[in-house]
């Protein structure tokens, strides 16, 4: 379950911006031959739903049905008890929200039948769109058309609302992580205790969600064990603030961090907008760029070339497998070189 700051910040993300984002998606309808789109998200992964609707369910799941005219209805896997909160977050009138609970698939198909003709094509948006939901849509007489990649391209533009929200979140998390990691290598705390302290500090600072994993020299990450480390280890921190995601990873050994920082900082001085390799190396160090940190960042694998633009906020991973070291940071792309944002 998500916790922390779960209210609407309309100054960072006004209704007008959400309408503009959905308009960009609707502009793709003709190319895909669809009459509407169903955007799905759940408590674990709601990147597309949050982007177009400003809804990241704190439990269960939700769908947004978006028509060609921009009209929007929500059918959620939550109950009607939280429709007020859903309305506050999304800006959708409570009358257009169906808190269907476990009957979400039936309610979704029922809405589609009432508003779209049999055989209509429906855009499917959401990296983790459930198979049973898609099957119910198609069994209801509709054709599902995958539109997730098009939706991701729209969100990858990183508009001002996204950037301002993420920058605010990173600033808050910097302070929280820095304070909670002070003395981590000498304080006698177990790995689990350190991870718990970091999570508590981040959630107190406003993190909606947090995933913290510990890895040893083998760089295999798992839940932090309740024991002292005994050797240098890495804490991987994936945080969500007002729907947007950031990543920070640090080694417990300051000397190993400093060596990785030197490689990172030299790379950032040369980083510029334009096409660049997602993966590069400097002697025994590997450097990987992530164009946009998402809820499933742990599954991300850098490859090929990516195009960076000024103002883009990206992830940067620096690793040395021989030494068993990984650090990760958030970086702002600039003409004058990359700017480190996670100063932890």
CB-CB contact of 38 with 64 (8 Å) = yes
The percentage of the chain sitting over the pLDDT mark of 90, rounded to a whole number, equals: 91
Phi first, then psi, for residue 285 (nearest 5°) are: -100, 140
Nearest to 78 by CA among 51, 97, 91: 97
User: How far apart are alpha carbons 154 and 75 in whole angstroms?
Assistant: 23
- pLDDT of 6 over the 70 cut: no
Nearest to 239 by CA among 181, 204, 199: 199
For residue range 176-199, list pLDDT tens digits in order: 999 998 877 666 789 999 999 999
Residue with tokens 């910040």, as numbered in its chain: 9
- pLDDT of 320 over the 80 cut: yes
For residue range 73-92, list pLDDT tens digits in order: 999 999 999 999 999 999 99
Query: Residue 10 has what pLDDT?
Result: 85
Residues near 166 by beta carbon (within 8 Å), at least 6 away in sequence: 241, 244, 246, 313, 330
Average pLDDT over residues 112-140: 96
What is the DSSP-derived secondary structure letter of residue 62?
E
Phi first, then psi, for residue 179 (nearest 5°) are: -65, -40
Instruction: Give this prediction's pTM.
Output: 0.94
Phi first, then psi, for residue 83 (nearest 5°) are: -60, -35
Q: Within a 10 A sphere around the Cβ of 146, how many other Cβ atoms?
A: 14
CB-CB contact of 265 with 287 (8 Å) = no
User: How far apart are alpha carbons 164 and 148 in whole angstroms?
Assistant: 24
Average pLDDT over residues 118-142: 97
What sign for the dihedral angle of Cα 303, 124, 66, 241?
A: negative
Q: Within a 10 A sphere around the Cβ of 23, how many other Cβ atoms?
A: 12
Query: Residue 287 has what pLDDT?
Result: 98
Residue 224 pLDDT class (50, 70, 90 cuts) = very high
CB-CB contact of 147 with 154 (8 Å) = no
Average pLDDT over residues 15-28: 97
DSSP assignment of 8-20, as one string? --TTTS-HHHHHH
User: How far apart are alpha carbons 17 and 273 in whole angstroms?
Assistant: 25
DSSP assignment of 260-273, as one string? HHHHHHHHHHH--S
Q: Which of 5-19, 117-131, 231-245 has the lowest mean pLDDT?
A: 5-19
Average pLDDT over residues 139-150: 97
User: How far apart are alpha carbons 66 and 21 in whole angstroms?
Assistant: 12
- pLDDT of 5 over the 80 cut: no
Q: Which of 1-5, 115-119, 225-229 has the lowest mean pLDDT?
A: 1-5
Query: Residue 115 has what pLDDT?
Result: 96
């Amino acid at each position: 379950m998500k916790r922390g700051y779960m209210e609407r910040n309309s100054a960072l993300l006004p209704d007008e911006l959400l309408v503009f984002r959905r308009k960009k998606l609707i502009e793709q309808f003709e190319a895909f031959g669809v009459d509407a789109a169903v955007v799905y998200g759940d408590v674990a992964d709601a990147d597309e739903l949050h982007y177009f609707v400003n809804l990241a369910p704190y439990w269960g799941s939700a769908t947004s049905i978006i028509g060609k005219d921009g009209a929007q209805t929500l059918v959620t896997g939550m109950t009607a008890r939280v429709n007020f909160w859903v309305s506050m977050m999304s800006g959708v009138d409570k009358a257009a929200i169906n808190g269907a609970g476990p009957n979400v698939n039936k309610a979704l198909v029922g809405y589609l039948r009432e508003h779209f003709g049999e055989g209509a094509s429906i855009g499917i948006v959401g990296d983790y769109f459930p198979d049973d939901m898609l099957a119910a849509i198609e069994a209801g007489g509709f054709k599902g058309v995958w539109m997730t990649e098009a939706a991701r391209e729209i969100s990858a533009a990183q508009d001002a609302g996204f950037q301002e929200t993420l920058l605010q979140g990173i600033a808050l998390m910097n302070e929280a992580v820095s304070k909670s990691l002070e003395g981590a290598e000498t304080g006698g705390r177990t790995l689990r205790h350190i991870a718990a302290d970091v999570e508590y500090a981040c959630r107190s600072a406003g993190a909606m969600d947090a995933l913290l994993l510990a890895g040893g020299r083998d760089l295999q990450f798992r839940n932090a064990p309740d024991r002292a480390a005994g050797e240098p280890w890495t804490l991987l921190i994936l945080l969500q603030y007002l729907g947007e995601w950031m990543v920070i990873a640090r080694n417990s050994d300051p000397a190993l961090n400093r060596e990785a920082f030197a490689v990172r900082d030299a790379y950032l001085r040369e980083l510029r907008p334009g096409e660049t390799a997602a993966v590069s190396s400097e002697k025994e160090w590997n450097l990987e760029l992530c164009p946009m940190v998402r809820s499933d960042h742990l599954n991300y694998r850098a490859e090929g070339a990516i195009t960076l633009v000024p103002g883009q906020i990206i992830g940067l991973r620096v690793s040395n497998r021989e030494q068993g070291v990984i650090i990760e940071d958030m970086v702002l792309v600039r003409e004058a070189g990359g700017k480190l944002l996670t100063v932890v």
